[in-house]
């Protein structure tokens, strides 16, 4: 009997495909030629850069089809690649363009097929009239502690409507968006397990209004504001996943059975690697600028990179950035291929990339010296933009809490 040949072992590669490299170059070109030249202006104006969003929409970078194609990559790497390149151009403008991805992820991850088909295209509008969307989870007294959310959603049997009341804080695109995805409590006694996500059109709905706009340390080109809900009435079918599915889930929880991930946490866990990629783009921008500056800046008759203190700092920056990218890519691949985050790999990627972004941008300022502290050079803006990545979508402390619980199997507090 003829011997059978052993099955070939699966290969391993970190090399991008031709399509991924082409996309990377395309987004980098847009970031370099359109985003970066406009970065300082829109940071100073602290306004939403609608002309830049429209440019992105016209070339297909900002669109339902574009985002769908990024998600469709079976490796999971396209979305972090796009985010890194765009945020390399500028983080404020990058978030103005891709901030819509968070509410889209919530709709896609929790919505029915009909809800996905109806609401996601509305998040983007058209190239001639682009729109943005907002994800509203945080509140004045409920940031990291999502169980403390006080916004309520009560079902009115007489009118077959949900009635929402409360105040949301720190909402990217809050108030200027048409589509708002709002996390609210349906049953306060159940804590976070009693939450649900609702999709609301500001243009078509009374009782949802923008509150105070936040004046921020960084990401100034990205609009952030409170959102007020005052007897905001929406049809029964605007709870993501459908009312019947929500009722079934709440019934299981009330019976003491385990429910699926809570509405807000489910969205955040899915998007953390993407947020890490954004921080990665900022860190890389700072490193590349500092590297070129160090090669050109002379002191005592030679380029400052000739000094080991400078050269070693740049070597550390490059090493930390590349290590962060590997964590982001791993988590993105795991999420796309259905591998469970048994050790909170999504949180690991966001934690590492966010802290590296803050550290690397600070090192870049130090390398530039006094110039780095002025607004004449972009590393000052990079540093301001980076800091939020240790705070929003889960602080570094929350990421460590999630990771420690995952690796220990214990409910660390």
Which residues are identified as catalytic?
393
**Across the strands, what pairs with 180?**
134, 200
First-to-last CA distance in the chain? 62
Structure tokens at 110: 């929790």
Specify the 3-state DSSP secondary structure of 130: strand
Burial (CB count within 10 angstroms: exposed 0-12, middle 13-18, buried 19+), residue 342: exposed
CA-based nearest residue to 329, from 273, 275, 386: 273
| Helix or strand run (H / E) with residue 213 | strand 208-213
Cα–Cα distance for residue pair 160/332, rounded to 1 Å? 40
Quote the tokens at residue 48: 């939403």
**Strand pairing class (161-172; 152-156):** antiparallel
Partners of 224 in the β-ladder? 172
The helix/strand/coil state of 343 is coil
Contact 382, 285 (CB under 8 A): yes
Half-sphere exposure of 281 (CA within 13 A, CB side): 30
24 vs 45: CA distance, rounded Å = 29
- For tokens 């007897």, name the residue: 231
For 133, the 3-state DSSP assignment is strand
């Amino acid at each position: 009997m003829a011997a059978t040949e052993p099955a070939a072992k699966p290969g391993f590669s970190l090399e991008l495909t031709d399509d991924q490299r082409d996309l990377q170059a395309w987004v980098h070109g847009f970031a370099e030629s359109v985003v970066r030249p406009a970065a300082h202006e829109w940071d100073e104006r602290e306004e939403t850069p609608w002309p830049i969003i429209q440019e992105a929409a016209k070339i297909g970078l900002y669109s339902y089809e574009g985002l769908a194609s990024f998600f469709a990559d079976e490796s999971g790497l396209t979305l972090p690649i796009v985010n890194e390149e765009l945020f390399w151009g500028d983080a404020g403008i990058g978030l103005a363009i891709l901030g819509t991805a968070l509410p889209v992820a919530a709709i896609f991850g929790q919505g029915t097929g009909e809800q996905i088909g109806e609401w996601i295209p509305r998040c983007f509008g058209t190239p001639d009239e682009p729109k943005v969307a907002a994800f509203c989870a945080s509140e004045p007294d409920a940031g990291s502690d999502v169980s403390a959310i006080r916004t309520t959603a009560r079902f009115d049997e007489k009118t077959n409507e949900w009635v929402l009341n409360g105040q949301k804080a720190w909402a990217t695109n809050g108030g200027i968006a048409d589509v708002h995805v709002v996390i609210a409590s349906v049953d306060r006694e159940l804590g976070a397990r009693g939450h649900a996500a609702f999709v609301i059109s500001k243009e078509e709905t009374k009782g949802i209004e923008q509150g105070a706009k936040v004046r921020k340390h960084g990401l100034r080109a990205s609009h952030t504001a409170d959102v007020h809900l005052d007897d905001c009435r929406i049809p029964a079918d605007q709870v993501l996943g459908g009312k019947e599915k929500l009722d079934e889930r709440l019934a299981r929880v009330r019976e003491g059975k385990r429910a699926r991930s809570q509405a807000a946490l489910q969205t955040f866990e899915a998007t953390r690697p993407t947020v890490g990629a954004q921080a990665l783009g900022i860190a890389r921008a700072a490193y590349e600028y500092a590297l070129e500056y160090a090669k050109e800046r002379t002191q005592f008759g030679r380029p400052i990179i000739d000094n080991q203190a400078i050269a070693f700092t740049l070597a550390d920056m490059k090493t930390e950035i590349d290590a962060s990218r590997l964590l982001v890519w791993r988590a993105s691949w795991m999420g796309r291929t259905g591998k469970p985050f048994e050790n909170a790999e999504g949180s690991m990627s966001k934690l590492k990339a966010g802290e590296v972004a803050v550290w690397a941008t600070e090192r870049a300022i130090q390398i530039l010296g006094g110039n780095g502290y002025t607004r004449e050079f972009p590393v000052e803006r990079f540093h301001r933009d980076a800091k939020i990545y240790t705070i929003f979508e889960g602080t570094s402390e929350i990421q460590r809490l999630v990771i420690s619980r995952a690796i220990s199997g214990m409910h660390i507090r």
